Amino acid sequence: MRTPSNRLFAAIGEFSPTFWAIWLAILVNRMANFVAVFLALFLRQKHGFSDAQAGWVVGLWGIGSTVMAPISGALTDELGRRRTMLLGLIFGGLSVVAIAFAEQPLLLTVLAFIGGATQQCFYPASNAAIADVVPSPCRARAYGRVYWAANLGLTIGFSIAGFVPEAYLFWLF
């Protein structure tokens, strides 16, 4: 008979601390995904963008993500998994903070593109790193837990962001 502690060990004990560090980074990275959604509100509220202008800027966030997806795979091979993940996390965070303080519409537009691109930079590197640290027979379970981390991160991030009053949207960035 399995006790609760045996089930817990079976669920988390089969993976290395390196896997769990990547898992946590995925959780944190996904928590920040609310930015693209709340960016339109922020641009309208703080900078007076029209609906269409804010939509175009948020669209550039998505274009940045789309363009960077294949490039980040090549970066992962060239720079390594860890460096590429750090590049995405650090520059993604910096670009979002820069959005909070930027005033010029052109700069906000460029930062939105960079924010989307650097956010996407993390995913291929993290998936490759998991393949490196998890033995082949355990990978399906590992990627299942990664999927769980991504969804949990989205849930936490959007929940926190949803409770921030409109007057304080600046603090989300």
Tell me the per-residue pLDDT of 108-148, one tens digit each, with 9 for 90 and over. 999 999 999 988 888 899 999 999 999 999 999 999 999 99
> How distant, in Å, are the alpha carbons of 64, 118, 123 from that of 146?
23, 19, 11
Residue 164: band (very low, low, confident or very high) from pLDDT cuts 50, 70, 90: confident
112/58 Cα distance (integer angstroms): 7
29, 122 Cβ separation under 8 angstroms: yes
Q: Give Cβ neighbours of residue 122 (< 8 Å, ≥ 6 apart).
A: 25, 26, 29, 72, 84, 85, 88, 89, 92
Pair of tokens at residue 47: 């900078």
CA 16 to chain centre: 22
Look at residue 156 in the predicted model and tell me its pLDDT: 92
Instruction: Write down the pTM of the prediction.
Output: 0.79
Pair of tokens at residue 9: 């060990």
| Digit-coded pLDDT (tens) for 83-102 | 999 998 899 889 988 988 98
76/83 Cα distance (integer angstroms): 8
12, 137 Cβ separation under 8 angstroms: no
